[in-house]
Amino acid sequence: MQLFVYPPLSESARALLLQQLPADITATFRQDLPETKQAAAFQQAEVLLGNPPAEWFTTTPPAGLQFWQIDSAGIDRYQQVQTGAQVANIGDFFAWPCAETMVAGILGWYRHIPELAVLQAEKKWVGAPIRLKLGLLRDKRVIILGSGAIGQAVAQQLTGFNCAVRFLARTDPKAQLHSKEELQTALPETDIVVNCLPGSAENFFSAELIDAMHPGSIYASVGRGNTTDEAALLKALQAGRLAGAVLDVTRQEPLPTDNPLWQLPNVLLTQHSGGGQPGEDEGKVDILLRNLHHFQRSEPLENSVQLGRGY
């Protein structure tokens, strides 16, 4: 069988893959090929690791594809892809690090860590006046949008700060909120909103919801940039109607240098780094190898997904 590896892997992860790959599978690495030959190699794939451009499945579809290991949790970009292959995503692999980034950003915002870092770089001692601006994450009222693995990890980490956490999820019976209307009613009594929604929730956090947040509240997002009305968020931040934002994702990535979000002192941009963790590439390889084992034995895959439904 022919394996096409789309993501660039570290040398250690590549060695791990080649060492443990079943003998009947040959690996082709995109990073080894000139750009002009990558799509053609993809076309020959029977096993696929990674997230190639969705248009490749239309222009150069791999007719013999049997198993596809997506290396992200989100699969919404592939909802229109037609394939007879078995497909799995990466499950909760990124959940805990993404949650740590959100909690670190929120805590850092309350404790003015970004400002202090800038002052340190400028060798400016301000001291006492900063103490008067510091807030506490303790006892804050939080709504988490989405009750999946990332949202659950955020909630678990916030228990140490005694936060009152509620979830919004359309179909999860354990969530406290299930509609935009219920969310809009709850927002005036909420200190922090953490968006963990998938990309299929286009513009879910709309201007109306942003307007419903009370002055002094903050917005954090680690799901997908397209789930937020970014123009409305920017206006609310510039006008001071929102106190601040922690954004791991934005609508356009990389964020253009002329985007005003770069200049706002009340915004912390973590540049879609939230899932970063030690051995990230090796972890992806481990997941692929485990699922290859299941696939070759006709066993259920870990984190099997259906592209058309988006999960």
Query: Running DSSP on this structure, what letter comes out for residue 205?
Result: B
> Catalytic: 224?
yes
> Catalytic: 272?
yes
Tokens 């590439």 appear where? 281
Catalytic residue among 166, 178, 251, 272: 272
Catalytic residue among 202, 208, 253, 299: 253
Q: Which of 221, 287, 267 is nearest to 13 (CA)?
A: 287
The span from the CA of 140 to the CA of 40, in Å, is: 53
Residue 129 structure tokens = 């006046």
Strands 244-247 and 218-221: parallel
Asked if 218 and 244 touch (Cβ cutoff 8 Å), the reply is yes
Give the bridge partners for 245, in sequence order: 219, 267
The span from the CA of 57 to the CA of 307, in Å, is: 13
Strands 192-195 and 164-168: unpaired
What is the set of active-site residues?
224, 253, 272
